[in-house]
Amino acid sequence: MNNITPTIELVLEKIGLESATIKSIKPPPKRTQYRAVMNWLIFYKPHANASNLEKVKGYLEAFYHLCEVEDWARATTIIDIPLNTPTNEKLRDILGTWGYYQQQKEIYDRLLGKLNDKWDCICLNGLGNCHFYTGSYQLAINYFEKSLEIANQNNFQKDAKILQNIGSTYHNLGNYNQAEYYLQQSLEKVQQTGDRFTEAGLLVNFGHLYDSQGEYNPALDNFKQALRISQETNNYIAKISALGGLGIYYYSQQKYEEAMNYYEQQRKIAEEIGDSQSFKTALGNIGIIYRFLKTYPEAITYLEKSLELAIEMGDLNGEETALTNLGVIEVELGNLTQAREYFDKALNIAREIGDRRGEAHILFGLSQYYYRCGQFQQGFTSSQKSLKIMAECGVTINALPLPRWYKSFLKFSQRGKFQLTIFLLFVLIGFPFAITISFITTLWWGLYGQVKKLSSRVGKNYY
């Protein structure tokens, strides 16, 4: 993607600026700003191995100078220019695809309140996305709701996308009922308008929502449908996410070869189009597959690269997830000091951003750490906290991060006292004390109704 920017002639024509007209601009400080705009657009040349951000630096600098003279019309024209990339996204949008959330945030902060309701709606939604991808979920919802209010007041045809964004954020917060409520509203709107491009992304969201609740068949149906529509509409972002979703499905079925195939497809396309968020996620997912295959060096390599990218992008959720999985690996390898460091860092992030499902997974990992250390009471307490949060989030037994045979035993034990007695005898006789505690804790949590089985519902990849 070396020639991703349009010709300078086209850009100057769009913003209606010529060197000859600049000479007559007064006062001199204002003229200096316009000269800087022309210089950045005409003379800035990125080097051969420039990053994507360096390739568009001339446009961003021109934007900032136009903001200095409050020439908002030309400033918005600059950031609305589509780039020559596979996704043909506008400059302001592709910054997010590339993972440059801080630069994207600066653009929206500059423009908010400077133009009209349409641009305020765009800026608020854009700021919501920036905070969503960096893990500030409640702040993201605040921006999305303000954007939705303006869209509804003006009948802007953007409310479906905003509703989708709100639904995705509630999903990441573990509030599945609210997530479904907003996603369903969004789906109804796009189906009414025939917007199949957006529908593909929504189906991916529903696939993840089902997956989070252990409803794997509906999740698979939504991921397959999303992949088909994304291919028909050339929606690269939805295609990448659908491939990742299919990887998640096969991973949940313990079909690791099939899962790896989809994750590799996701990684390859994400790298080709510069989708940093999806590329990071694919690396993490591949790392987890290697972990389950007990190929630890490869698992650590992929997860460390995912962690590095998350930190570069300011993606707290991605950082938390990578740290959690690295902690699990270190427990399995017996490197308990390193494992505890990873878990502690991940837990701090999860609580900071309000990721309750992530917090539950970390606490579950910590319980295994405590058991390996012989600290059974701490392990018991950590397990209880983990399972309590899972229940409050509406997570079913199917969606627990446990082996399939384990889940089958738990379901069997819930049929009655006789089945419960058999299960307890089996666990007590057949397993070590530390594992017994974990099993019994999980069992009692499920047996007495703290798991709320949710019915099936019509419908940046989690790992």
Lowest mean pLDDT among 65-69, 182-186, 345-349, 447-451: 447-451
pLDDT given at position 420 = 52
**Percentage of the chain surpassing pLDDT 90?**
57
Residue 50 Rama label (left phi>0; alpha psi -120 to 50; beta): beta
Split at pLDDT 50, 70, 90, the class of 156 is confident
Report residue 25's pLDDT band, with 50, 70 and 90 as the boundaries.
confident
What number is the average pLDDT over the span 229-241?
94
Query: Stretch 26-45: mean pLDDT, rounded?
Result: 91
Query: Computed from CA positions of residues 76, 80, 83, 89, in that sequence, does the dihedral angle turn out positive or negative?
Result: positive
- Residue with more model confidence, 463 or 446: 446
For 204-228, what is the mean pLDDT? 93
pLDDT at 408: 63
pLDDT at 171 over 50: yes
Least-confidence region, from 7-16, 133-142, 378-387, 393-402: 393-402
d(CA 327, CA 300): 10
Q: What are phi and psi of 375, to 5 degrees?
A: -95, 80
Confidence of residue 406 (pLDDT cuts 50, 70, 90): low
Give the alpha-carbon dihedral of 253, 257, 259, 260, to 10 degrees. 150
pLDDT tier for residue 407 given thresholds of 50, 70 and 90: low
For residue 245, CA distances in Å to 77, 178, 278 come to: 36, 21, 11
Report which of residues 136 and 439 the model is more confident about.
Answer: 136
- The top-scoring range by mean pLDDT among 261-270, 410-419, 450-459 is 261-270
Q: Residue 459's pLDDT is what?
A: 29
Residue 189 in this model has a pLDDT that exceeds 70: yes
Q: For 102-111, what is the mean pLDDT?
A: 95
pLDDT band, very low/low/confident/very high, at 425 (cuts 50, 70, 90): low
- Integer-rounded Cα Rg, in Å, for the chain is 25
What is the reported pLDDT for 424?
53
Residue among 182, 179, 160 nearest 171 (CA): 179
Confidence band (pLDDT; 50, 70, 90) for 218?
A: very high
Give 410's pLDDT tier (boundaries 50, 70, 90): low
Q: How far apart are CA 213 and CA 118, in angstroms?
A: 37
Domain boundaries, the chain: 1-114
Alpha-carbon distance of 221 to 247, in angstroms, equals 13
Question: Higher pLDDT residue, 282 or 26?
Answer: 282
pLDDT score of 148 more than 70: yes
Q: Which residue has the higher pLDDT, 105 or 174?
A: 105
**What distance in Å separates the CA atoms of residue 316 and residue 101, rounded to the nearest whole number?**
12
What's residue 400's pLDDT?
56
pLDDT for the residue 421: 61
* pLDDT top residue among 451 and 413: 413
Instruction: Determine the length of the chain.
Output: 463
SS (H, E, C) the chain: CCCCCCCHHHHHHHHCCCHHHHCCCCCHHHHHHHHHHHHHHHHCCCCCCCCHHHHCHHHHHHHHHHHHCCCHHHHHHHHCCECCCCCCCEHHHHHHHCCCHHHHHHHHHHHCCCCCHHHHHHHHHHHHHHHHHCCCHHHHHHHHHHHHHHHHHHCCCCHHHHHHHHHHHHHHCCCHHHHHHHHHHHHHHHHHHCCHHHHHHHHHHHHHHHHHCCCHHHHHHHHHHHHHHHHHHCCHHHHHHHHHHHHHHHHHCCCHHHHHHHHHHHHHHHHHHCCHHHHHHHHHHHHHHHHHCCCHHHHHHHHHHHHHHHHHHCCHHHHHHHHHHHHHHHHHHCCHHHHHHHHHHHHHHHHHHCCHHHHHHHHHHHHHHHHHHCCHHHHHHHHHHHHHHHHHCCCCHHHCCCCHHHHHHHHHHCCCHHHHHHHHHHHHHHCCHHHHHHHHHHHHHHHCCCCCCCCCCCCCCCC
Please give the model's pTM, rounded to 2 decimal places.
0.80
Lowest mean pLDDT across 128-137, 343-352, 410-419: 410-419
Residue 74, token pair as written in the block: 């030309």
Q: Is the dihedral of CA 107, 113, 114, 119 positive or negative?
A: positive
Q: What is the pLDDT of residue 380?
A: 79
Q: pLDDT-based confidence at 57, cuts 50/70/90?
A: very high
Residue-averaged pLDDT of the chain:
85
Q: 90 pairs with which residues across the strands?
A: 82
Q: What is the mean pLDDT of residues 194-219?
A: 92
What are 82's strand-pairing partners? 90
- Give the mean model confidence (pLDDT) for residues 382-388: 81
* pLDDT tier at 121, thresholds 50, 70, 90: very high
Neighbour tally for 172: CB within 10 Å: 23
Can you give the pLDDT at residue 13? 87
Q: What pLDDT does residue 48 have?
A: 81
CB 211 within 8 A of CB 244: no
Joined tokens for residue 148? 């939705």
pLDDT at 437: 46
State phi, psi for 114 to the nearest 5 degrees: -100, -15
- Band of pLDDT at residue 168, cut at 50, 70 and 90: very high
pLDDT value at residue 441: 46
Task: Grade residue 463 by pLDDT with cuts at 50, 70 and 90.
Answer: very low
| pLDDT band per the 50, 70, 90 thresholds, residue 354 | confident
pLDDT at 447 over 70: no
Q: How far apart are CA 16 and CA 13, in angstroms?
A: 5
What is the spatial distance between Cα 408 and Cα 320, in angstroms, rounded to a whole number? 29
Structure confidence at residue 344 (pLDDT): 95
- How high is the pLDDT of residue 229? 96
